[in-house]
Amino acid sequence: MLYRESGQYKTNYADDQAIFPLKQDRWLMAIALVVAFVVIPLTSSEYMLQAVIIPFLIFALAAIGLNLLAGYCGQISLGTGGFMAVGAYAAYKLATSFPDLNMIVVFLLSGVVAAFVGIMFGIPSLRIKGFYLAVATLAAQFFLQWLFNKVAWFYNYNPSGTITAPPREMFGFMITGPAATAEARYMITLVVVVVLALVAKNLTRGHIGRSWMAIRDMDIAAEIIGIRPLHAKLSAFAISSFYCGVAGALFVFTWLGSVETEAFAITVSFQVLFMVIIGGLGSILGSFIGAAFITAVPILLTNAPQFFGFNMPIDLQKHFEVMIFGVLIIFFVIVEPHGLARLWQIAKEKLRLWPFPY
Amino acid sequence: MEVLNAIFVLPFVDMFSEPIFFAEVVVGGLLTGVMYSLVALGFVLIFKASGVFNFAQGAMVLFAALTLVGLMEKGVPVWLALIIAAGVMVIVAVIIEKLVLRPLVNQPDIILFMATIGITFFLEGFGETVWGSDIHRLDVGIPDAPFEIGGMLLNEFDIWAAAIGAAMVGGLALFFRYTVIGRALRAVADDHQAALSVGIPLKTIWIVVWSVAGFVGLVAGIMWGTKSGVQFSLSLIALKALPVLILGGFTSIPGAIVGGLIIGVGEKVAEIYWGPLIGGAIENWFAYMLALVFLLFRPQGLFGEKIIERV
Amino acid sequence: MTETRNIGDTLLKVDNISLSFGGVKAITGVSLEIREREICAIIGPNGAGKTSMLNVINGFYHPQEGTITFGGEVRRKMRPHLAAQGGIARTFQNVALFTGMSTLDNIMTGRNLKMKRNFLWQAINIGPARKEELEHREFVERIIDFLEIEAIRKTPVGRLPYGLQKRVELGRALAAEPKLLLLDEPMAGMNVEEKEDMCRFILDTNDEFGTTIGLIEHDMGVVMDLSDHVVVLDHGEKIADGVPDVVRADQNVIDAYLGVAHE
């Protein structure tokens, strides 16, 4: 009863192709945006923003990036961490070399740098597929991590080898650096993530998105109907890396403030891959759900044992977390390969008829 | 000019001016290569028999080694610990077949690949939950004394590792060629459905193959563990088996061996002669980059079958 | 019949093509011509090299010898997407749809070649990109009407029955507005009603859009009814070429192919 499309007639194709053709979806989205832009900044504690919400948004962005590549274009990548590192170091170099540059421009440019690196490592995808490609992207992961660790120019010859976000302001608010409040950092992250998520949604609905999906579903047929594999795959690598790059830049500038290359190790690549699998391959919404889920699990694991009154040593807890991620992946791959996003869709279909299913 | 000289001339000058040292480097690389080959062998076995790209082979190596070393630390004698560890690997194989592979029959390869990533995490987490994450020293009694041949300094253990590796490869080759199960395996590798239709029990075959891969993992785990201790980073070392596979081809046992040796020697030589030029530690990525470049020229690997696409 | 069909000049000329894989010869010295607006059937027993021939024509296989002239251009090697740009579309023996996408999206991919707005426009989805998308949507809706698949517009094609999948695949090929449409066994595995529908669509396509059609089919009744011109292949060689009635009477064809069926 609550979720019905009857009575909502569409009289032209433009209405039919809107992002949210249904009124109920538009309402849900509006509510979500109000919560994100108004309720959360007013009510959340510093800890909540810093430890939960900001990392959730940043990982969601990275997950969208990987989802464009793996979920839409079918090219599995284990190099997400590497591409995020490119974005982070590019943003650091840009922000320190051109102190007057607007931070939004810095983030976008560092995404562009990551996109070019992504294209370079995407070239093998023209000859190889599937797990061969997955292995090839490991080269990106290990090489990039090594590069940023060894070449001192990237961290401005800082003896500690870390990069630290310089303080920058926008509209009179400090948005990066130690003086920036969690609220300010949250807002800037939110704006970037929301806009880029919308862009991703548009891309996947347009002809570029269809050419990615065509390559994913049957590359030979796609080529024969005139889709150029070179174009489709490299554009997927470029745009995916752009998203990962911006996520990497935010990772340093609006979340941690200061990182080493270790922060972008292969575990990050896997973490983002898990978000995509659990959230749902080929779904932008799923990237958010997956990111929320994967961010929430460790927090739950930290707090649940105490809640039940016994203490788990911290390293045991880490092992447990790894184990649970493993089980979750196997579970989702077997039970619902399209992830939580698909479950949400099924729930919506059930709601159409609820409470009178027949 | 100086740069070119440093890259293209000096390393070779060094190699020729100190041939014994160079030989030591190469031999060292070959021996590391044998270890990579051992891990890669497990991958190839499973890929041949079930078409599954088993990302978890590295985790199986770690898990087997952890089990063995954990038992030995509890005072179990070596021979018994070996038997129990092998038994555990069989149980792991059975569980994986029942809980993961069977529900995923006929799914796309990439889904199975992701499932094995899940297995990887589970095994790593489980192994460390049970046995802890400290570095364990492993000593199963393989002699480990240095000796000299023709001016080269070698380690007895390395020779043993090479011999055991060679014996395993030979044994597996014979097993594949001359036993009934071996023939069934080759049939399954060609075509699941066709193999089923002539009465080959697919489930048994899969359990056998995953168990064998588990044994191979155990042996690899013993070798690596003896050399550098049993620890989490073992599963990262095992990731290096992936470029080995790309070089050798996913379906080729000789390929796994030759690929392992090439990667082993390649990265040692590169590290020692070119590494210092660009800051060292290039062992971390050299194998992957080599594989990547190689892929551009020969996507099917050294010994893999040529891929013919049809519509 | 031929007089009233307004058949034009040669559109596709395949000249002395030979193709082999390793040592196995798939096609040996075959020449054939397809003229504008005609329906040409390529028939032959299994393994005669029919599908290989289509693969050569649209650039998926590269023949070792011979040339192909399409729309006045002579070529030997061709990338498939270039063939598509030149106006060759095709369907496949085993349905090759994009199973994860809806019917509408599948047919829209057929329009991809005609969509020019770059990704920055698409990213913001206003102005030209949006207008372009809507124009193509209208064109695709016409194809959907034509093929009578309005009801399954938004259904993922993976869930459709086989007969409908074949129809969607035809729609995807038509969306490219091809000059030459190659159909690889469009009626394989269909029941009588589905075959009749499909025949109707093929004839209508030929009539209404003037599309030249090259078709592989095993159902002799269909072939003889539909085509203006039949080419018979056997073991990679051409053994007959002509109007249906002549080919039907050809002794070589009866021996190699039809004869077997009547025994």
What's the pLDDT tens digit per position in B51-94? 788 888 888 998 998 899 888 888 888 889 899 999 999 999 89
pLDDT at site A109 = 95
Distance from CA of B84 to the nearest CA of A (A): 23
Using CB atoms, pick whichever of B53, B118, B125 lies closest to residue A320: B125
Q: Is the pLDDT of residue A61 over 90?
A: yes
Average pLDDT over residues A76-95: 94
Average pLDDT, chain C: 85
Average pLDDT over residues A144-168: 87
Higher pLDDT, residue C62 or B49? C62
Could you tell me the pLDDT band of residue A18, with boundaries at 50, 70 and 90?
A: confident
Among B104-118, B145-159, C31-45, the least confident range: B145-159
What's the pLDDT tens digit per position in C161-212? 888 999 999 999 999 889 999 999 888 888 888 889 999 999 999 988 889 9
Burial class, C140, CB count within 10 angstroms (exposed 0-12 / middle 13-18 / buried 19+): buried
Max avg pLDDT among A171-180, A275-284, B27-36, C17-26: A275-284
Question: B2-297 is classed in which CATH architecture?
Answer: Orthogonal Bundle (1.10)
On whether residue C92 sits in a domain, the answer given is no
Could you tell me the pLDDT band of residue B310, with boundaries at 50, 70 and 90?
A: low
CATH number at residue C67: 3.40.50.300
Same domain, yes or no: C229 and C104: no
Q: For residues C196 and C202, what is the distance between their CA atoms, to the nearest angstrom?
A: 10
By the CB < 8 Å criterion, does A213 face chain C?
A: yes
Site from C122, C137, C157 to mutate, A interface, most A CB atoms within 10 angstroms: C122
Domain-ending residue, one of C123, C144, C177: C177
Same domain, yes or no: C59 and C189: yes
User: Which of B297, C51, C237 has the alpha carbon at shortest distance from A220?
Assistant: C51
pLDDT at site C107 = 92
Same domain, yes or no: C83 and C182: yes
The ipTM value here is: 0.85
C-alpha torsion angle, residues B124, B130, B135, B137 (rounded to 10): -110
Using CB atoms, pick whichever of A134, A149, A319 lies closest to residue B128: A319
Average pLDDT over residues C80-97: 87
pLDDT at site C259 = 53
On whether residue C245 sits in a domain, the answer given is yes
Same domain, yes or no: C158 and C222: no
- CB contacts of C133 in chain A (<8 Å) are 17, 206-207
Average pLDDT over residues B82-111: 86
Could you tell me the pLDDT band of residue A290, with boundaries at 50, 70 and 90?
A: very high
Higher pLDDT, residue A173 or A91? A91
Same domain, yes or no: C126 and C136: yes
Q: Where are the domains of chain A?
A: 46-266
| Structure tokens given for C246 | 């002549």
Could you tell me the pLDDT band of residue B291, with boundaries at 50, 70 and 90?
A: confident
| Structure tokens given for A253 | 């500038």
Q: Is the pLDDT of residue C261 over 60?
A: no
Same domain, yes or no: C184 and C83: yes
Give the burial string for C51-70 (b: 16+ CB within 10 Å, else e).
bbbbbbbbbbbebeebebeb
Contact C63, C230 (CB under 8 A): no
Same domain, yes or no: C73 and C123: no
- In percent, the amount of chain A with pLDDT more than 70 equals 95
Among B93-97, B232-236, C148-152, the least confident range: B232-236
CA angle A23, A25, A27 (to 5 degrees): 70
| Structure tokens given for A157 | 């010859």
pLDDT at site B92 = 92
Domain-ending residue, one of C177, C195, C223: C177
Could you tell me the pLDDT band of residue C263, with boundaries at 50, 70 and 90?
A: very low
Q: Is the pLDDT of residue B36 over 90?
A: no
Contact B115, A329 (CB under 8 A): yes
Q: What is the total count of domains within chain C?
A: 2
C112 with A227: Cβ contact below 8 A: yes
What's the pLDDT tens digit per position in A219-244? 888 888 888 888 899 999 999 999 99
Q: Letter for the amino acid at B176?
A: F
Count of beta carbons in the 10 Å neighbourhood of residue B145: 7
Average pLDDT over residues C77-87: 82
Could you tell me the pLDDT band of residue B169, with boundaries at 50, 70 and 90?
A: confident
- In percent, the amount of chain C with pLDDT more than 70 equals 94
What's the pLDDT tens digit per position in C14-36? 888 899 887 788 899 899 999 99
Distance from CA of C55 to the nearest CA of B (A): 8
Among A13-27, A81-95, A331-345, B254-268, the least confident range: A13-27
Residues 99-158 of C with CB under 8 A from B: none
What's the pLDDT tens digit per position in B209-228? 889 889 888 988 888 888 77
Same domain, yes or no: C182 and C82: yes
Same domain, yes or no: C1 and C19: yes
Among A180-189, A335-344, C16-25, C176-185, the least confident range: A335-344
Higher pLDDT, residue A105 or B108? A105
Using CB atoms, pick whichever of A210, A217, A218 lies closest to residue C112: A210
Same domain, yes or no: C143 and C127: yes
Same domain, yes or no: C196 and C75: yes
Q: Where are the alpha helices (DSSP H) in B191-304?
A: 192-197, 202-228, 233-239, 241-248, 253-269, 283-297
Domain limits at C247?
Answer: 1-87+178-263
Query: Please, which residues have CB within 8 angstroms of residue B235's CB and are 6 or more apart in sequence?
Result: B58, B59, B61, B62, B120, B124
**A100 SS3 class:** coil
Report the number of secondary-structure helices (H) and strands (E) in chain A.
16, 4
Domain-ending residue, one of C122, C153, C177: C177
